[in-house]
Amino acid sequence: MSKRKLSRQQRWRIEKVQAERTQRAERRDTRDGEKLTAGEYGPEQGGRVVAHFGRTLDVRADQGGDAVRCHLRANLEGLVTGDRVIWRAAHDANDGVVVARVERDNVLERPDARGQLKPVAANIDQLLIVFAVEPAPHANLIDRYLVAAEATGIAPVLVLNKTDLLPEHGGELRDLLGRYEGLGYPVVTTTTAREGGLAALHARLAGRTSVLVGQSGVGKSSLIERLLPDEELRIGALSKDTRKGTHTTTTARLYVLPGLASGEGELIDSPGIREFGLGHLDEQQVTAGFIEFREWLGHCRFRDCRHRHEPGCALLAAVERGDIHPQRFTSYQRILESLGDA
């Protein structure tokens, strides 16, 4: 008796909850639908995702102005910070709806908790690979970052930080930098220890969308503190608010860099993005990532040459002649060896 009563009550509650849920969903759909048809949204316009929070995004209009919180049309999935979108602003409130994504120039991906590659940011002009006088950079690590950058199709820039610690003549480090410049990679030097120590970096950032990556201790946080003084304060306060600051640590944001002399620069940043370059690569990406090898690839005697000890290997011959720097080739071999361990 009581059992039957209870189950009837349970059933009623379940039905009520389901009905409410359906109603809510319908209301949401028609609200967006009605707004769209009733002209409550303005015309379609271009914009850029500056932050995303699951089902909502912050979009900045191409014409400028503050970011607008936007909902997504049901068929839109997987938008990331930096995506260019078509959206409509609501007339009545400070919200909007994203109706389409514009094709991406490029995308940065990172493995999620299950090892699946997930896009984290899009439409980036340059990857700033930060290294420092201390801890001294291993050429191998720089090469690893360069390979990862080449695999994304985003132009890498080497940023040598802590130049205040550079010995008078700089010796080895200058040779190392010279070698990369010789390959065509831009090199910028910075120090956060001196006023004006970011001048060369400012010039590089202007008019571009950048992402900053690099090993622990090289000074990424210090550089960003200088580049975005107000934001750093705000992020610090936010992290304290939410204890662990889960949102601020996982969400990539696009920041407009203030105070650049020429042109507006943008930085996309999140702690997750700063760790870029330490993920998975395959053998083909590694080979393609050594840009000076390109001219010799396809010239080996064996079509399936793996450039180890094969006779008639065009790469080995180029190293022998001095056309490929032996340290770059050693680096290449070491990265290939490390692929098995990943």
Ligand X SMILES: Nc1nc2c(ncn2[C@@H]2O[C@H](COP(=O)(O)OP(=O)(O)OP(=O)(O)O)[C@@H](O)[C@H]2O)c(=O)[nH]1
- Residues forming contacts to Mg ion in the complex (CB under 5 A) are 221
Instruction: Please indicate if the annotation marks 313 as binding a ligand.
Output: yes
Q: Could you identify the residue written with the tokens 């030097």?
A: 189
Residue 307 is classified by DSSP as S
Q: Can you list the positions of beta strands (E) in the chain?
A: 45-53, 56-61, 68-72, 84-89, 95-101, 107-111, 117-122, 126-132, 155-161, 187-189, 209-214, 253-257, 265-269
The reply, when asked if residue 220 is annotated as ligand binding, is yes
The distance of closest approach from Cβ of residue 174 to ligand X in the complex, given in angstroms and rounded to an integer, is: 17
- How many angstroms separate the CA atoms of 168 and 1, rounded? 92
Residue 320, contacted partner among Zn ion, ligand X, Mg ion, none, CB below 5-8 A by kind:
none
Cα 85 to Cα 88: distance, rounded to the nearest angstrom: 10
Q: CA–CA separation, 272 vs 276, rounded Å?
A: 7
- List b or e across 292-303, with b for residues whose CB sees 16 or more CB atoms inside 10 angstroms: bbeebeeebeee
Binder among 126, 152, 192, 287 for ligand X (CB under 6 A): 192
- Please tell me the total number of residues recorded for the chain in this structure: 342
- Annotated ligand binding at 106? The verdict is no
Query: Does 141 engage in binding with ligand X (CB under 6 A)?
Result: no
Least distance from C-beta 339 to ligand X, angstroms? 24
**Is 35 marked within a binding site?**
no
Please tell me whether 307 is known to bind a ligand. yes
Q: Is 307 in the site for Zn ion (CB under 5 A)?
A: yes
Pairing of strands 265-269, 253-257: antiparallel
Binding partner of residue 313 among Zn ion, Mg ion, ligand X, none, CB under 5 to 8 Å per kind?
Answer: Zn ion
Closest CA to 126 of 145, 110, 111, 143: 145
Instruction: Output 126 or 215, the one with its CB closest to ligand X.
Output: 215
Q: Does 196 bind ligand X (CB under 6 A)?
A: no
Task: Answer yes or no: is 239 a known binding residue.
Answer: no
80 binds, among ligand X, Mg ion, Zn ion, none (CB under 5 to 8 A by kind): none
- Region from 150-158, 162-170, 282-290, 325-333 binding ligand X, contact rule CB under 6 A: 162-170
**Contacting range for ligand X; rule: CB under 6 A; set: 47-55, 117-125, 166-174, 217-225:** 217-225
Give the binding-site size for Zn ion (rule: CB under 5 A): 5
Binding residues (CB under 6 A) for ligand X: these are 161-162, 164-165, 191-193, 214, 216-222
